[in-house]
Amino acid sequence: MKHKFSYKRCGFIITFFLTSCVSNSHATTDDIMASISGDMAYFNEVATATKQNEHYQPYIISVFQGKELEKLGISNLKEALRLVPGVDMATDNFNNQTPIFRGSNSLAYGQSKLFIDDVPVNNLFFDAYSEYLGMPIEMIKRIEVIRGPGSKTDGVNAYAGSINVITYAEEFEGFETNDNVVAKYASHDYRMGGFMKTYKSKDLKVFVDFYYQQDDKKLPSGPDGLSRGALGANNIPLSQSGDAPLWLKDYSLGVNIKYKDFSIKSRLLEHTQGSAYGINLALPLESDRLKLPSYYLEAGYDKEINDFKVDIKAGVKYDAFDSYSKLAPDGLVLGPSTFLDGIYGEHYALQRTLYQSSYLKYSGISNHVITTGYRLINEETIDMSSKLSNRATGDVALVDYTNTLPFFDADAKRDIAIFSLQDEFSFNNDLSFIYGFNYEQTSYQNAGFEPRISMVYQLDTKNIFKAIYSRSHRNASWQEMFTMNNRARVGSSDLEPEKVDAFEVAYINKFSNDSYLQTNLFYLLNKNQIHNSTTDPVYKNIVDTDIYGLELEYKGHISSVDQLYMNYSYVTGTSNIRDIAKSEALSNVAHHLAKGYYIYNLNPSFSLSGLAYYVGSKNRVSTDAREKVDAYTSFDTALQYKNLQNDYTLTFSIKNIFDADIRYPSAQNTYSQDYAQERRTFLISLKKEF
């Protein structure tokens, strides 16, 4: 479909066409047409690589530009994802925040995949990426969000959606990245500093980005899970309320190197946060912490040879769960022992992921582009330790229980082999298809054969139709498979992958090159979803859900000096809980979501913006007697000043202007009043380009 974009009368192509006709009036017609064709192909390549022609892609996609998000006062990746149609946010006792796509298994992780410059970064322990949600928006060039499982046939499965964060390492001739430095200050004593730097020679490009950030955030919380019997009925009187330690301290260094056809992508992220709501649902101390570091290194070779394109990658990724916390309050009674000074614990598990993929793309058959290849993955826990207060005497001094009472399987490992085949078929100038499959085998339960087919039909330049069927899965996370000796969660290596069959249709009306209305309907059949509870902490495949809904997305202008974006989502469905042979309405899911923003450019230097979010109420599971989670509406505003002469930008924003009470739902029998989020806050950011 690449050639399609060149026929959409994009403004820069028209400008180039007119300029070429004037400046080359003495050239031959063939020379003119050859020049135009070459430049049209170039701009099409840039547009394809940057998803500027996303409406012609064979999936449901939304794209957000970093610089536009900066105008809105968006601070980080999490805040940007709140704008995505059909996406809500959830959290847990670790404050492991995660986007929920279309209501899919709202109390689980791994429903979506996060990529940084096309490198998958979900951690192995949770299959989540909460540690990356704080990535400052100034480090992000563009965010591409694909809703639904049909986005990947290259060995990476996205169950409910995928998020690709593109940094400023991406660069094209005529679209170069400027070096810059950035500093921010906000509520909760938030401080951030960072920079981006590019070095280029004829064949070599090195891009470096770095940021450091910290805050001292704590939010009122409680009563904690002990009030619901999380550590036994006799310990209910020990329940506490107070400030949950949600402070943050992290730094990240990313290095991308490109030399001819070779590339290296690497990142070091050291992420440390407060222990939030407690590993065992007991409110922890302010100094208690959880570390979720992430390191990756990927080497690649990408070469075009006649009708063939070779893409070879090999990488290694390390992530860890590293916690030190007061696990239970003073006076806790556990078996025959009474812990007068509470229970303390230190838990550490280091995971390593090795992967290698090879893909070959062939375009030598008319109207077809065939891609085939494999991806091999080795996942393994390479270090583990478990230390607790003395269980026999109640003494708080830590005792090494790594061998006698481990919190995690030290021998956890999994091998995965995936084979992929895909054909992009252009039937004619208006109709195209993509069809293919992944086939996966693991050393545990296999996902097997997973097909995908999509159709894109262009009635004309303004009306586009899509139809998609896809099947995908999510393998159980390390926590779900290998956790041991824990009252709140117990792993099972017999878990089957969660599976989904998705049916999607979409209609896009393009009013202009940058103005459109997208409407899509979806129907999702989810099988083997993994759940546990405080009454039954063992993870099991016990829920099947049928989900359906619609999403509306509009982007355009009211005048020539503004940008308007709005979306609305509706989702509903039923859950079939196998253990009780009962069907019930979706729980912990907002049926209605509405988001939008408006940017008014007062002049080339000043812009004023507003954001609005509406999240509908959420029902509880049928066995939870609490009232439903209340709906909320929040508003943000931002003022940005750009000094064109000295190339610096100053942005001031206020979030949740009217101090709305925002709460993410807690699981049954944990924190009875849910997890309260930030109220009204402010942010000041300063960025200087060079």
Q: What band does 535 get if pLDDT is binned at 50, 70 and 90?
A: confident
How many Cβ atoms from other residues are within 10 Å of residue 603's Cβ? Answer: 8
- Inter-CA distances, 387 with 383, 391, 400, 465, 482, Å: 14, 11, 5, 58, 17
pLDDT per residue as tens digits for the range 112-168? 999 999 999 999 999 999 999 999 999 999 999 999 886 555 667 788 999 999 999
523 within some domain? yes
Burial of 317 (0-12, 13-18, 19+ CB in 10 A): buried
Between 392 and 534, the higher pLDDT residue? 392
633 within some domain? yes
Residue 554 has pLDDT above 90, yes or no: yes
Which residue type sits at 470?
Answer: S
Mean pLDDT value across residues 504-517: 94
CA distance 41 to 153: 26
What is the per-residue pLDDT for 21?
35
Mean pLDDT value across residues 294-321: 97
- Beta strand pairing call for 675-676 and 663-664: antiparallel
| Residue 290 near residue 328 (C-beta atoms within 8 A) | no
What is the per-residue pLDDT for 200?
93
Which residue type sits at 39?
Answer: D
Q: What band does 22 get if pLDDT is binned at 50, 70 and 90?
A: very low
Mean pLDDT value across residues 524-529: 94
37 within some domain? no
Here the CATH number for the domain that contains residue 618 is: 2.40.170.20
Mean pLDDT value across residues 547-551: 96
25 within some domain? no
- Inter-CA distances, 52 with 6, 32, 62, 398, 513, Å: 12, 26, 10, 56, 10
Cis peptide bond prior to 223, omega within 30° of 0: yes
Give the CA count within 13 Å in the CB-facing half-sphere of 454.
Answer: 27
Mean pLDDT value across residues 233-240: 94
What is the per-residue pLDDT for 336?
82
Between 445 and 217, the higher pLDDT residue? 217
pLDDT per residue as tens digits for the range 564-592? 999 999 999 999 887 666 788 889 999 99
Residue 678 has pLDDT above 70, yes or no: yes
pLDDT per residue as tens digits for the range 499-510? 999 999 999 999
Residue 263 Rama label (left phi>0; alpha psi -120 to 50; beta): beta
Residue 77 has pLDDT above 60, yes or no: yes
- Beta strand pairing call for 112-116 and 161-167: parallel
What is the per-residue pLDDT for 47?
45
Q: What would you report as the CA-atom Rg of the chain, rounded to the nearest whole angstrom? A: 26
33 within some domain? no
CA distance 359 to 224: 50
Residue 467 has pLDDT above 50, yes or no: yes
What is the per-residue pLDDT for 655?
98
Between 371 and 172, the higher pLDDT residue? 371
- Domain region containing 463: 50-689
27 within some domain? no
pLDDT per residue as tens digits for the range 376-390? 999 999 999 999 999
Helix (H, G, I), strand (E, B) or coil at 485: coil
Residue 684 has pLDDT above 90, yes or no: yes
How many Cβ atoms from other residues are within 10 Å of residue 382's Cβ? Answer: 13
CA distance 343 to 327: 5
- Beta strand pairing call for 332-334 and 337-339: antiparallel
Q: Which two tokens stand for residue 329?
A: 């309050």
480 within some domain? yes
Mean pLDDT value across residues 59-71: 94
Between 149 and 194, the higher pLDDT residue? 194
Between 157 and 542, the higher pLDDT residue? 542
Q: How many domains does the chain have?
A: 1
Mean pLDDT score of the chain: 90
- Beta strand pairing call for 606-615 and 413-426: unpaired
Mean pLDDT value across residues 392-415: 93
Nearest to 7, CA basis, from 464, 378, 453, 391: 464
Residue 676 has pLDDT above 50, yes or no: yes
What is the per-residue pLDDT for 153?
56
What is the per-residue pLDDT for 27?
38
Residue 25 has pLDDT above 70, yes or no: no
Which residues have a Cβ under 8 Å from the Cβ of 110 and sit 6 or more positions away?
A: 122, 126, 127, 128, 159, 474, 475, 477
Give pTM, 2 decimals. Answer: 0.91
What is the per-residue pLDDT for 536?
86
Residue 670 has pLDDT above 60, yes or no: yes
Residue 239 has pLDDT above 80, yes or no: yes
518 within some domain? yes
Q: What band does 534 get if pLDDT is binned at 50, 70 and 90?
A: confident
Q: What band does 4 get if pLDDT is binned at 50, 70 and 90?
A: very low
Between 25 and 309, the higher pLDDT residue? 309
pLDDT per residue as tens digits for the range 290-304? 999 999 999 999 999
